[in-house]
Structure 1
Amino acid sequence: MSQATLHPTPSAHWADPKRYLWLLGPAIPVIGAAMLAVYWQTQATWSLWFAVALVHLILPVLDFIFGEDAANPPDAALKALDADRYYSWVLYAFVPLQIAVTILGAWMAATLDMPWHHLLGLAISVGIVNGVAINTAHELGHKKDKLDRWLARISLAPTFYGHFYVEHNRGHHKNVATPEDPASSRFGETFWAFWPRTVAGSLRSAWHLEAERLQRFNKGVWSPDNENLQSWAMSFVLFGGLLAVLGWKALPFLLIQAVYGFSLLEVVNYLEHYGLKRRKNADGRYQRCEPEHSWNSNHTITNLFLYHLQRHSDHHANPTRRYQTLRHFDDSPQLPSGYAGMITLAYIPPLWFAVMNKRVIRHYQGDLDRISFDPAKREALMAQYADHAASVRAQATA
């Protein structure tokens, strides 16, 4: 592991300067609920689309204004910082707020006389809350505490994506930046081509992983101990309960917000490892996952909203490390904006390729053999970028 950038403050007097700013994470469902309340009282259309503006406009602008923060806590402070339960309660607060927003949204969809475009805005707004919640589930799901793990699965219930708990922890972290990982995107692959591949591939992977685990205990895949089935049961209970109380009119809302929510996860997956590849060693095994295999960002505001998810290299090196102690490494590849800004680019392939393709080539110093290409486009892309790669190699050796 490369050398982390050290925090300049002496550890004996160090205090987390972001301690209370981490409350921006659970502020997401609070903002979502507030916007739904505004619409309920005023029928103001803008309130249903505020969450979209927050993700695609407001956060990228704030990232630009406030810039980057590459500071790390001093090593001597890590143990106490990790043990501070305040940071866990910040995560715990998100889950009941998220469920409350989902219930409120379903009630509004079923009881208010809303035109279709208002219903769409309502579903997308709640979908954004539940999509960001998957990041909360991601943080909790890596921990050893049973409460954390159960809350992670509850947080996944509104998006019907409970299998993420299995596939991400035991599949993605093992296979990241390899052809075996459905959640690692390839150079030249659009997000719209990646989406069906990762959604279907992650589901297959999660089912296969649980089948293997249960087989070791002489249990069948349909056992009540199947963690996928347990997580999906939570979704059935949530959806079934809401439909029983509110009627079938709530179903379109529930489906749209779920798909939008898990798609928000998948677009983040798309940008986290785009074009990056772990090489195979002589023994046929892949090299260890290193900082070079994850795209990172130190943009301050999005990192606060996403619990340092953008310090992704350290997360892959230390999956159980808590968000408040994740570190920046100088040789980890950096995105030109925070994840919020990059999401918008990912939706528009020509813009994404214009920003990222040459960045990937520069990261590998012009060595195209080190890039994970979309197999169907490999030869065409290598020819397209041959001159640029040669120029990068010449600069690297100059």
Structure 2
Amino acid sequence: MASTALQESQLPAEQWRDRKRYLWLVGLVLPISLPMSVALAWAFGKLGFSAVTPALWWVGPILLYVLLPILDLFFGPDGHNPPDEVMERLENDKYYRYCTYAFIPLQMVSLVLACYLWTADNLSWLGIDGGLGIVSKIGLTITIGVVGGVGINTAHELGHKREDLERWLSKITLAQTLYGHFYIEHNRGHHVRVATPEDPASARFGESFWMFLPRSMFGSLKSAWELEKTRMQRINKTTWSLHNDVLNAWIMSIVLFGALTAVFGWQVLPFLIIQALYGASLLESVNYLEHYGLLRQRTESGRYERCAPVHSWNSDHIVTNIFLYHLQRHSDHHANPLRRYQTLRSMDGAPNLPSGYATLITLTYLPPLWRKVMDHRVIEHYGGDITAVNIDPRKRDQILARYGAR
């Protein structure tokens, strides 16, 4: 794959074509999966096959935990980088940003449709007696949570850009998961402190996902508030001003949830909260695997070295990259946070995961299996030097002893 990428990057600019140009539209399959499920449920009902309908409401987890890992295994890594000469043209091609914009209205349509399905007591037009059963409602909640969780990644892509429109679209996209503070913490917190013990979103060696999850959630929230509080003081405004980007992002969530509750009734609120928490947990599982155990070393001045490709776990598996707008080319993203997804490249020196993020998300839930797959990779990445690793301080003595270090 590396030689293929090298050959392609050496093509003359006029001969180079983006092989993935129209594949990015596949990323819209997720936000339209629920409307498609409704259409299939209606069709099956008309044909007398309504017994298979309950499985349709589980389309989100089926896609995330089953289909994407299988497709990643089948299609494998990508390995194609754009040559330097086409970067500016590719960056300025507005088609690519429209692909991300399209995700947002489809996400909102799916959310409204889910609210209707959660609360409807007459779905006879779908061939269902009464409303959805509890199992179907759970599947629907997880499905819309998957949409919201991947929506955070869309917000991540938009939130890094300089255009005001894209930054506001980022906050709108985050409203579904009650995670508007991510817009602040990720850009001004995580990108500054990445791969250091001070970063709540950088997982430590020996730390399970279930210990990392609350640390990252609450730590990121605290950090975002402190960052905006400092900014408000700098521009001589009260912390509780609407100019506070944490506050105005939260207000978007309150307005969204309030409007949906007013239309569909209070019964929709538990489902909205559960899907928001689940969607946010998907982001945190990705945060967990992106920098697990990686550590920027301190220089002689006492400061941390600059973030480099060696400080992010990468994967070039093409299918999950299409769904996540090249998020898996994470080293290039940290090196060039303003760079648009279509121009992100695989970088030499970056440590690589054994498969795509979609596969590894499941492993994060299973600490013994995660450690078996990843811990030796972290140690090998540092040439066997456990002291160079970002170790969970609660397990530091135990881990150092296990690997023969003091």
TM range (shorter): over 0.9
1:392 alignment partner in structure 2: none
Written as runs of structure 1 = structure 2, the 5 A alignment for 1:206-355 is 206-355=224-373
CA 1:367–1:150: 2 relative to 1, 3 Å: same
Separation in structure 2 between the aligned mates of residue 53 and residue 263 of structure 1, nearest angstrom: 17
| Conservation of the 8 A alpha-carbon contact between 2:309 and 2:348 | no
Question: Residue type of the partner of 2:290?
Answer: E
1:197-232 CA-partner distances (Å, limit 9, x unpaired): 000000000000000001001112101111011111
AA of the residue aligned to 1:17: R
What is the TM-score when the length of structure 2 is the normalising length?
0.92
Q: How far did residue 116 of structure 1 move?
A: 2.2
AA partner of residue 109 (structure 2): A
* Cα distance change, pair 216–60 in 1 and its aligned pair in 2 (3 A): same
Deviation at 1:356, TM superposition (A): 0.1
Deviation per CA, 1:154-182: give whole Å up to 9, x if none: 00000010000000000000000011110
Aligned-partner residue type, residue 381 of structure 1:
I
2: CA distance, partners of 1:214 / 1:39: 51
Question: 2:267 is paired with a residue of what secondary structure?
Answer: helix
Q: Are the counterparts in 2 of residues 186 and 373 from structure 1 also a CA contact under 8 Å? A: yes
Contact 1:32 1:129 in 2 (8 A): no
- Work out which structure has the larger RCO, using CA pairs closer than 8 Å and 6 or more positions apart in sequence: 1
User: Structure 2 residue aligned with 1:130, among 118, 129, 148?
Assistant: 148
1:320 aligned partner, one-letter code: L
Of residues 165, 175, 190 in structure 2, which corresponds to 1:157?
175
Name the CA distance, whole Å, in 1 between partners of 2:228 and 2:102.
29
- How far apart in 1 are the matches of 2:395 and 2:87? 45
Aligned-residue offset at 1:39:
4.5
Distance across 2 between alignment mates of 1:215 and 1:280 = 31
Q: Of 3, 11, 14, which aligns to 1:12?
A: 14
Deviation at 1:37, TM superposition (A): 4.2
Partner of 1:93: 102
Amino acid at match of 2:24: W
Match of 1:396 in 2: none
Equivalent residue number for residue 126 of structure 2 = none
The letter of the residue matching 2:119 is A
What amino acid maps onto 2:56 in structure 1?
S
Q: Report the equivalent of 1:79.
A: 88
Superposed CA deviations along residues 262-294 of structure 1, whole A, max 9, x for unmatched, are 110000000000000011112121110000000
Partner AA of 1:83 in structure 2: N
Deviation at 1:5, TM superposition (A): 5.6
Letter in 2 for 1:199: M
Alignment pair present for 1:371 and 2:380? no
The answer to whether the 8 Å contact 1:39/1:48 transfers is no
One of 108, 117, 140 as aligned partner of 1:108: 117
**1:276–1:294 Cα contact (<8 Å) kept:** yes
Change in 2 beyond 3 A, CA 1:313/1:169: same
The secondary structure found in structure 1 opposite 2:379 is helix
SS at match of 1:343: helix
Within 2, Cα distance between the matches of 1:28 and 1:102? 12
SS of the residue corresponding to residue 180 of structure 1 reads coil
Which residue of structure 2 lines up, in the alignment, with residue 23 of structure 1?
25
Residues 79-117 of structure 1, C-alpha deviation per residue, up to 9 Å, x if partnerless? 100000000100000000001101110111111423322
1:176 counterpart = 2:194: yes
SS at match of 1:13: coil
The residue correspondences of 1:23-62 to structure 2 (distance < 5 A) are 23-39=25-41, 42=50, 44-62=53-71
Distance 2:233 2:56 in 1: 50
The alignment partner of 1:16 has SS state of coil
Shift of 1:33: 2.4
How far, CA to CA, are the matches of 1:51 and 1:114 in structure 2? 17
Q: 1:383, CA displacement in angstroms?
A: 2.2
Question: Structure 2: how far apart are the matches of 1:79 and 1:381?
Answer: 47
Equivalent residues of 1:28, 1:129 under 8 A apart: yes
Q: What is the TM-score normalised by the length of structure 1?
A: 0.94
Stretch deviating more after TM superposition (267-276 or 30-39):
30-39
Give distance in 2, aligned partners of 1:382 and 1:285: 24
The total of aligned residue pairs comes to 384
Shift in Å at residue 74 of structure 1? 0.5
Report which stretch shifted further, 276-285 or 184-193: 276-285
Deviation at 1:8, TM superposition (A): 4.3
What one-letter code is carried by the residue in structure 1 that aligns with 2:36? A
